Amino acid sequence: MVKVGEIVPDFEADAYLPEKDDIGKVKLSDYRGKWVVLAFYPADFTFVCPTELEELADYYEEFKKEGAEILSVSTDTAYVHKAWHDTSPAIKKIRYPMLADPAGKISRLFGTYIEDEGVSWRATFIIDPDGKVVHMEMHDLSIGRSAKEILRRLRASKYVREHPGQVCPASWEPGKETLEVSLDLVGKI
């Protein structure tokens, strides 16, 4: 299972590509040099999933401005993604690639696969331009994620990468103060 601080092994998957209205192959290595947000979800044509994916679609331009690509991943096929995109008003908004993982290989690589159910936990991974996981979150299927919070975490991850020796305190937003790593701060916060 890939963990924070580790380089993600390359993988390839079929994907529905909404911007082209086509099905094609996506390799993680195609995104080297960019930030990647992997959003695992259990299944198409469900309840919480479209609310999350729609919200990510609503924030997609903000992610792109940060130099990031969103890749959603479920154990459905790319054809099911296409059918969902064609029929759901929420999913119709999506322009980012929707990866197919019907054998659960990508989900197993990231430790999100639920063996007894054949689906993935809700999980988010932020991968830096070098291919290293800098953030991961996984939770129960009944709880939806916040695209705004994922974007905030991406921005914080970018900031500390670009500013060595700086760290972001709780709920940090761009423009707010950061902390400089220093023994002078120990016990004073």
Catalytic residues, by residue number, are: 49
Distance CA 189, CA 177 (A): 14
Residues 6, 133 contacting (CB under 8 angstroms) = yes
Residues 109, 2 contacting (CB under 8 angstroms) = yes
Q: Which of 104, 136, 103, 143 is nearest to 120 (CA)?
A: 104
Residues 146, 39 contacting (CB under 8 angstroms) = no
If one counts every other C-beta atom within 10 angstroms of the C-beta of residue 161, the result is 15
If one counts every other C-beta atom within 10 angstroms of the C-beta of residue 106, the result is 24
